[in-house]
Amino acid sequence: MSVNMCMNIGSSDLSRACAWGAVLLMLTACAPRVEMNGNLPDPERLAEIKAGGFSREEVAETLGSPSSVAVLEGEVWYYISKRTETLAFFESDVSDQQVVVIHFDKKGMVSQVQTLGLEQARTIEPVERETPTAGNKLTLFGQLFGNLGRFNK
């Protein structure tokens, strides 16, 4: 470009370019933030796990340690992963969730392998109640002046 061409750029062209630059900057700032949580095994390694062919130790070597183990029986392992997207200041949205459930028989061998997706997920509603506690209910006055006179020499 010659010097004369650069001098011919008007203030309206410059302001238009700045406006487009600001719009592009705002659009890139609103890109969703993606988070991956959990432990999802490699699909190729997961395909190797067959019922009756693998023990607990072999599953742990192939897939790694599970995200969770069933508390009561200890015969079920869970590999859980979740992908969430958060846009600006809005609440995060679960875009993908997978749970691999591996059941073991009494001998410690794989008896069943299940893969559950987001469509099988259920919403859990927490119970809204208070647990009563023993003791006295103190007022502000009782908290401020309750210890006066309790300590004798």
Q: Which residues pair with 33 in a beta bridge?
A: 86
* Residues 151, 13: Cα–Cα separation, whole Å: 82
Among candidate residues 52, 105, 96, 53, the one with its CA nearest the CA of residue 77: 105
Kindly tell me the burial class for residue 141, based on how many C-beta atoms sit within 10 Å of its own C-beta (0-12, 13-18, 19 or more): exposed
* Residues 10, 66: Cα–Cα separation, whole Å: 64
Contact 73, 83 (CB under 8 A): no
pLDDT value, residue 37:
84
Residue 61 neighbours by CB under 8 Å, 6+ apart: none
Show pLDDT as tens, one digit a residue, over the chain (153 residues).
444 444 455 567 788 888 888 777 776 666 778 888 888 788 898 888 888 888 889 999 999 889 888 877 668 999 988 888 887 777 878 888 888 999 998 888 999 999 888 888 777 788 888 888 887 778 888 878 877 777 766
CA angle 141, 131, 128 (to 5 degrees): 115
